[in-house]
Amino acid sequence: MNTNLLYGDFFMEFCFNKYFSIFTKILDNMTFQPIVPMIWTRQLHETVDFYCDILGFTCGNYNEDWGWAAVHKDQCEIMIARPNEHTPFETPYFSGTFYIKTNDVTKLWETIKDKVEVAYELDDFDWGMREFAIYDNNKYMLQFGQDLWKKE
């Protein structure tokens, strides 16, 4: 029997468990903040206007020289940027959607439905959400939803 192999396996497992324990303690003391998407566009000013004028966001930061802005509404924040020269960019793209929860999706729908390009209309879904989806001025899809089972 090769005892070096046994001791080596024991040592490796001990090191892994010790490292994992320390790593877990670090993560336990860390909090994640809400995800803040950064969308790319060549239409910085127009995009800020869309989010502020149509959706009621506030522009917290805008820097034309940097080609960057940040808009927010309540706990929702979106950064908007022109792609830099190191980033291949032809047209805005995102393989998913941006899902924004709200406490009154029906009121939001009634307020904006005639001012935007609609992806799908307000509807109640089997999974307990009332939602609709629109496209922003760059064709990014934004879904808005309200939990029908959650008591406000």
β-strands 141-147, 98-101: how paired? parallel
Residue 151 has pLDDT above 90, yes or no: no
What pLDDT digit, counting tens, does each position of 84-110 carry? 888 888 888 888 899 999 999 999 999
| Tokens (6 digits) for 15 | 């090191």
pLDDT value at position 17?
A: 61
Contact 68, 82 (CB under 8 A): yes
- What's 95's DSSP letter? S
State the burial class of residue 77 (Cβ atoms within 10 Å of its Cβ: 0-12, 13-18, 19+): middle
| Tokens (6 digits) for 90 | 């032809």
Runs of H (alpha helix) within the chain: 3-28, 44-49, 105-112
Q: Single out the residue of 137, 37, 41, 36 nearest to residue 92, CA to CA.
A: 41
- What's 86's DSSP letter? T
Contact 142, 136 (CB under 8 A): yes
pTM for the whole structure: 0.78
Q: Computed from CA positions of residues 53, 136, 138, 58, in that sequence, does the dihedral angle turn out positive or negative?
A: positive
Give the percent of the chain with pLDDT over 70: 81
pLDDT higher for 2 or 12?
12
